[in-house]
Structure 1
Amino acid sequence: MGRYLIDTNIVSKYLSGSLPQDGERLLDSVIDSAPQLSVITQIELLSWKSGFEARVREFVDDSSIFALTEEIVQACVRLRRERRIRTPDAIIAATAIVNDLILLTDNEVDFLRISQLTVVNPNRYQ
């Protein structure tokens, strides 16, 4: 199995039990081999008042977090100059690209147009 970076929306759906069965199985296998998050996803998750803060905190604590490095910053700047993409999404995409990770997200509108990025949507996974 490849290495994955999990986007905020997928963590939220996973923890709330709203992913389809195949997508949940994919996330189970990714999480068993160590979940990986961008620092942006960490911030977004810990900022939410979701009703399941303890589960979110545990998930984040069990994850490897990719901090912003100069290489990620420069990749983010290139993405923002080339495309109309919000800074948080550009940081997540740059993190995946720099670390050669597959991005798990259902935000296909923003991420599928980035040719250097491999995207898997667990909502459509079979």
Structure 2
Amino acid sequence: MAGTPSEKTCVACGRRIEWRKKWERDWDDVRYCSKSCRARGVSPVDRALESAITDLLSARARDATICPSEAARKVGGEQDTDWRELMEPARRAARRLVDAGEVEITQAGHVVDPSTAKGPIRIRRARP
């Protein structure tokens, strides 16, 4: 492979895929960062979370942010156990939307790399 391979994002979790030597011959076909992401894929619940994020942001001021838990509650309901199980899927949905250029993930008001962000995050519409 000549030069640096193009940067890719996992279609399931939205994290950056790190290039590996074993993928050298088929880098163009790599879509997932791991076996677990390949097995999980993107479900209708994942798409519902993406839609919930964009709907919640559309209903707010241009610079407003939301917490992933708001999208999880909207999709999973207000029962404590239902929406809590959707927290990591909501974060994955936000990362996929970052890759699509629709939103940004922030911490303490600063845009962060969605592949490495740990701890509480906020989601806002992407700024031009």
Query: Do they superpose with TM above 0.5?
Result: no
Structure possessing the higher radius of gyration over alpha carbons: 2
Per chain length, whose mean CA-contact separation is higher, i.e. which structure has more relative contact order (CA < 8 Å, sep 6+)?
1
State TM-score, norm by structure 1: 0.31
